[in-house]
A and B are shown apart, each in its own frame.
Chain A
């Protein structure tokens, strides 16, 4: 027996453990040692005032710098406490009471209290501010009142019930009532440190940010975020490939496939997003289009036939390289709660479409479809010239409808001309556009479905509903907007979705997938379908400096 040896293995094991631990710790340290995350904004931010935000770039900055009372988890689509520890809605849906977190300070060191919430709400609801965030809270005329119950408790009362009231606070970044720095004093994980107009924006970590991780470490992990202002997507992709950028929040399917082919681990397809592309016919009574065409467009059979004659699977497969899903209706299946699961995407049935048209007196003659009076069925689809996918979809719809003997002229217009035609002059026959939905709640679609609304695209601003089904939609949308019970709201909105499927005022085409690119150096990112797709958990994102250096 060798008694002198036993200590050695134990010592070497100890050395090994020490080495392993130090390696592990250094790995953790390198992953969480701060660093600068870099990505692009597609345009100049229009404002740094969180209550006036109305554009994508300003939204991103507000998300990264603003502190909110409640936060919608972009992954689970559930509301989570943030600056408010808890909240309570009154039964009539008019009042919400927040219990606030204590010991929280703004980035400039000033304390956060109910006074700041009251100040923010009063400023938000000031009609002179013209805040689009505030518009969501305006259910009827009358003042919004705030009552400070204690420094950590506040009740906000609205003149009329607001459905989904608590979710709206996800968009309200709390401002300081007393700080001389005004909007520069923030409660979010980052604060604006430097802004070079037209070039870049630097956000530094907010040392006063209140959140901590499960180990008690103060968040965010990152030291800073550099946002370069870059509208050219080619340049953005090239810079990402060169390792100069860490994220691309939203990318096109073409770029996605190229990236996936060269670096499969960096391209992320989170599945169907909330965004939808659709087309519709002009049903405006005073529109400068021939009466016989107006009669076609006003026929439900005609609209249904067009819908059934479009091959949505081909649109998703060809135009979006498979990174889109045939659309079902106004709500994407990605919207877990509000989607009506009884509805299915329209299947491609050209024969059934022809039967529907024949039921309305249309008939084929020498390969061309004619109506009862012998007019050849021909119409134009206007769409925006800057969108390649939409141009391609229009060309494919042109071919699909050509098989039914319908002649379609595709007209691409610059966006302002297009908007003028569809919303002011109504000088168009059919239009194809997309809807970028950032709000899960159907209240965000009130301005589309109410017959009196400006965005009721097929026949806007009606003094009284012109059809029975539009009257029913008005009633149902108002009912869901005033009901406090989510189940009742869902019942009403499900019926709205069914009416849309029956009457086809919008012919929904596809829901694009949420595509993004995330560098391998970025750890903790969980790209999702809700905006901001890649950096919604920016306070928990870390950078692996070793991997970044090797890119």
Chain B
């Protein structure tokens, strides 16, 4: 890990107005995440996890505070700057996969590379590598509807990794999966942190996920409530 944090969140406030009611989703949230680590964001429904991820990824703008990703102030970027940020540095994994149904698994993984206008040969090589990484090389030509939920989420993770982002934001990636499949997806994310050096910030209710994280950050009513994650993650002796 480098000494400079990859992600720096400072004094972020976010309020939502629903009719006469104002909901404080984030109240002065500040924290840093070091590069190459896996951080679990935990909290009850409505605690502000997704809002925080959205603010970090530039999908939402905070009312106050700053977010820096690899030294770039996300909150100061215009739409084109945010688009560039998402192409180059930040990627997402959603609960509902979000794959393009008419494209094969390989073509879905290649989508960000097309967006970044990566040369075809390089694109194919990268896709092949990622499908190998997620264990779906044999399913490259299959469409999402022909894959199980876990396989679809794996493809979504591979797609998120395609453009070699520095930060991967995963919003409850196992929410639609059964426990066993969810565990395999979590293990995959953990493996990716190890093998790709990507920084992963994942919101979850899953205790197993928390156990796999280097660090657990709790959110309660918009406040940060960092807590010990038990013993830090240690790879199994036979893990590569």
**A and B part of one assembly:** no
Residues of A that sit less than 8 Å from B by CB: none
Residues of B that sit less than 8 Å from A by CB: none
